[in-house]
Each structure stands twice: as structure tokens, then as C-alpha cells.
Homo-oligomer: A and B are copies of this chain.
Amino acid sequence: MTDASRRRFLTQTTAALVAAPFISTTSTRARAQQSRKLGVAVCGLGKLSTDQIAPALAKTQHCRLAGIVTGTPAKAAAWKAKYGIADRSVYSYDTMHRMAENPDIDFVYVVTPNALHAQHTIAAAKAGKHVFCEKPLEISVERCQQMIDACRDAKRLLGTAYRCQYDPHHLECIRLVREEVFGKPNIVQAGFAINVGAPGQWRLQRALAGGGALMDVGIYALQATRYLTGEEPVLVSAQETKTDLARFSEVDESMVWTTKFPSGVVAYCSTSYKAGGIQNLRVNADRGWFELDPAFFYDGNRGRRSDGKEIRFPQTDLFAAEMDDFARAIIESRPTKVPGEEGLRDVRIMQAIYESARTGRAVSLV
């Protein structure tokens, strides 16, 4: 090790330790492990992979872009050229099993359409790779469970890519609840809506998306109500509405729902593919309130509190943060912060939301 590389090593290691205060061991071996960069294969080279995940990989401490999985040769060529990916680390969805022979790839980041997550996760797990999977984990509870089982059987980690769990604004909101800074929470409100893009995209096709606004962005609001309260909802009621029947013939357009939690907290939430601009969460507690608005951007989130203080942190790359945390879990042989089971829970609740909207009855989750 040269002096220059040693300085770099020490700098990286120190940064990793600062970023991950839960690491207790400081042995030389542990430090060497922490500085190791895991090879990541990005599976599905759509907009999210291109615009967010690939750039984020370059900002991670523990990951490097080592492979790709795509069904589009032109995308493979572009990524190879841009990121210098070796030929042997370029896969199609049909050749993922060959990853078993590729030591350069430690985990696969599944970024394909929702209804393909199980197929690609299971293929990666069977090839001996850990799997980090975009939300929603899948389109049914059964498929989520199959993914969890496959990773467990292969003794590989399965993580759900809930980036907000790494957003300092959200972490601060969780702290405010846990430490009861404004007393006990009573009513939580959250909503996330976008104006969905071009017709014809997979998000508007039931077979690939499994659902519409709720599965795609409402899931953030649902997640928020769960990690803010630290509880699992016991009852859900929902109403759906659809005004653009042509565009949203296969998936939900807009949804409002309420949930009740064991402590008595209730939440009221919304999502939409047509009412872009809803982007908030708010906790109303015994002695005050706080909120984020916007709450779910990649960066630029901010909030305020009833005592006049602002909730504002410097920009962080949430994709880099979640990938690094997943990598550290692999390196340290510990559970990941946001496992597949967490993704399954939301899918289960979303299915209950759909059921309630369809039947007009509150659906019990216990």
C-alpha cells in the first residue's frame, strides 16, 4: 500500500465510520472489510437507473457499478461505453443465472417493472447474489413471500429500496415522534401524487405495474405513516376515484384512505396520478405538530414545526445512502435496515386499501 493509497484508505474508512456509528468493531480486518467496494449489477436500465441509480453508485463508499441486466442491446452498449462494464458482466433477463460464475457481482439492484421483481429477484438469489429491490416489492403478498423465501434459502440478503428511510428530514421526524418532542402523536397526514407521464408506459399497465398511483407513489405516504408511528395499522378504509377512464383503464388514478394504529393514532392519506403537487407528511401531536412539504423529493425536502423551527438538512444522495447501507449489511453479515419483509407489509396493506375501496368496507389487518 502506497502512502497515497493508505491516506485514501484511512480517509474512506474514517468517513465510513462516521457515516455508520453503529459499527463497533475497529479491528484492522473490519476496517479492511468496510473499505471494500461491493460490485452491483443494475437490473433494468430505465429512467430511474439511468438518472438516479448509476450517478448515485459513483457517490457510494461501498459500491461500484459492476454489471447490468437489460433486454435492450442498445442500452447495454450505451452503459458499457459510459461505465466501462466488462462484457462478461452484461446480462439479459434470460442469462441472469450465469451471474453465479461472476465474482465481480455481490448484489443485484432490481429496478424492473413491479410485476417482474419476483422473477428477477429469485433469479439473482439462485445465482448466489444478494438483492436490493425497488418499491413496491412486488404486486402481491404471495410474490413478496416467494422473494423472501428465495433469498432466505440462498442465504442472501433481500433489501427494499425505501430511500426515505435514509432521508435526514424523515429521520428527524421519526426522532421527534420517538422522543415525544411535541407529545404523543394523534393524527398523521400524508400524501404523494404525481402527474404521470406518457400513456403506454408500463406504470399504466396492470400486468406490469399491478396497480397505479397507490403502488407507485402512494406507497411513500403509507410507509411514512408506519415509520412515523412505529406501528402497524390495524384497520384501513379507502375510496378510489377515476375521472380519466381512458388513461387509467387498467390502474388506479386517485385514492384516499384512512388507517388506524394500535395506540389510537389515525392517519389520513392520498395519492394520485393526476393531482401532482401533493407531497407532504404531517404529525399532529398533543403539544404541537410538524410537517414536511415537500416530503418525498430526491432532494430539496424541507419542513416546519409548530414551535417555529425549520426542518432542513443539507442535500444527501438517498440512493447512495441506501445502497451503502445495504452493502455494509452484507459486509458485516448483519440484517439490512429495510428488509424484504418491510416491503411485503406495505403490499399487504395496499391490497387491503384496494379491497376497501372495492367493497366499501373497512378492512381489518389483524
Contact = CB atoms under 8 A, between A and B. Distances in A.
Scoring A193, A239, A267 by chain B CB atoms within 10 A of each residue's CB, the highest score goes to A239
A198 B357 CA distance: 39
* Range for the number of chain A residues in contact with chain B: 35 or more
A239 B264 contact: no
A237 B238 contact: yes
Contact of A306 (B257, B269, B277): B277
Given A258-B256, A266-B241, A284 B289 contact: no
Scoring A184, A187, A267, A278 by chain B CB atoms within 10 A of each residue's CB, the highest score goes to A187
Nearest to A267: B256
Contacts of A239: 235, 237, 258-260, 266, 362
A288 interface: yes
Contacts of A258: 237-239, 256-258, 268
Scoring A193, A258, A361 by chain B CB atoms within 10 A of each residue's CB, the highest score goes to A258
Contact of A277 (B242, B243, B288): B288
A11 interface: no
A344 to B, nearest CB: 24
Contacts of A289: 275, 277-278
Query: How many copies make up the complex?
Result: 2
A186 B284 contact: no
Contact of A237 (B184, B189, B306, B362): B362
Contacts of A193: 187, 284
Interface in A242-262: 242-243, 254-260
Nearest to A235: B239
A265 interface: yes
A84 interface: no
Dominant SS among interface residues on chain A: strand
A270 B187 contact: yes
A85 interface: no
Contacts of A240: 266
A259 B189 CA distance: 16
Interface string A178-201: 000000101101010100000000
A39 to B, nearest CB: 43
Contacts of A229: none
Contacts of A285: 275
Nearest to A273: B186
Contact of A243 (B186, B241, B272, B284): B186
A277 B254 CA distance: 27
A172 interface: no
A294 to B, nearest CB: 12
Nearest to A182: B277
B270 A268 contact: yes
A282 to B, nearest CB: 8
Given A187-B270, A187-B272, A361-B362, A264 B241 contact: yes
List of 4 A-B pairs having minimum Cβ-Cβ separation, nearest first:
A360-B362, A275-B284, A186-B275, A243-B264
